[in-house]
Amino acid sequence: MAAQTVLIVYAHQSAGSFNAAIKDAAVDALKKQGCNVLVSDLYEMKFKATATKEDITEEVKNPEHFCYGNETMLAWQEGRLASDIVDEHKKLKEADLVIFQFPMYWFSVPAIMKGWMDRVLTLGFAFTLEKRYSEGIFRDKKAMLSFTTGSHETMFSSNGINGDMNVTLWPIQNGVLNYCGFQVLAPQIFWAPTHLSSEVREGLLEGWGARLQGLLSEAPLTFPPADIFDEGKGFQLKPEVQEKQAESPFGLTVGHHLEKPLPPHNQMKAGV
């Protein structure tokens, strides 16, 4: 079997940070398994976060009303995208697994990483209206979030002050990764490391190292297949699926809750 390629999209400003240590542990463990490991160190690269017409070389087609999605799709088709996007496209094409490594900012990813998603997941290259979700372009690839929080785990529980982490994760894991077809692995969450001793942090890195041993063969989180939604009726869940789900005490997912209790651990554990 050919060696697998892992792309780590990494966003932290300091090489002395715990995020850097997490990233380095992943690079070491994956290389020892024989993987090809690519790292996009976004701050080091001074990666441009804003989606603008500068992402297209030569003239844009409609300068009066610049539409980023359409213009970049055309530029991708015609080989007119900015070189930094093209470089990331090459890495993404090679990757069997993409790990996003970051400190959580405002319940989401840092702006520079959101900019990577906005600019690199180009319409046509990463998704189309026909090729999305379970029929998505990257359905043979895996992706996952690995991140640190400022708050303790209890604060991100269903009765904690921040609310349920499963809900927090839904926009990125479903709205970005699953949308592009990725098989989404359970997130690796390092809760409030700044409040921990160096010994405990070392233990967290060892736990991450252990997970990395079997990471590439892990089963992904469960998302509903696109074909259970009726395109002719505004992509609503088909009645027969709703009937089947009526007997369940829980909704389908965090987002497709059907006005029922959320399925426990839906965005944090596979197989539930």
pLDDT tens across 73-106, in order? 999 999 999 999 999 999 999 999 999 999 999 9
Between CA 150 and CA 228 the distance in angstroms is 38
pLDDT tens across 188-212, in order? 999 999 999 999 999 999 999 999 9
What token pair was written down for 11? 């966003």
Contact 75, 125 (CB under 8 A): no
Between CA 18 and CA 33 the distance in angstroms is 23
What pLDDT score does 94 carry?
98
What pLDDT score does 271 carry?
78
What token pair was written down for 184? 């989404």
Give the number of other CB atoms < 10 A from CB of residue 31.
12
Q: Could you say which residues of the chain have pLDDT below 50?
A: none
What pLDDT score does 52 carry?
97
Fold exhibited by the domain 5-221: Rossmann fold (3.40.50)
- pTM for this entry: 0.97
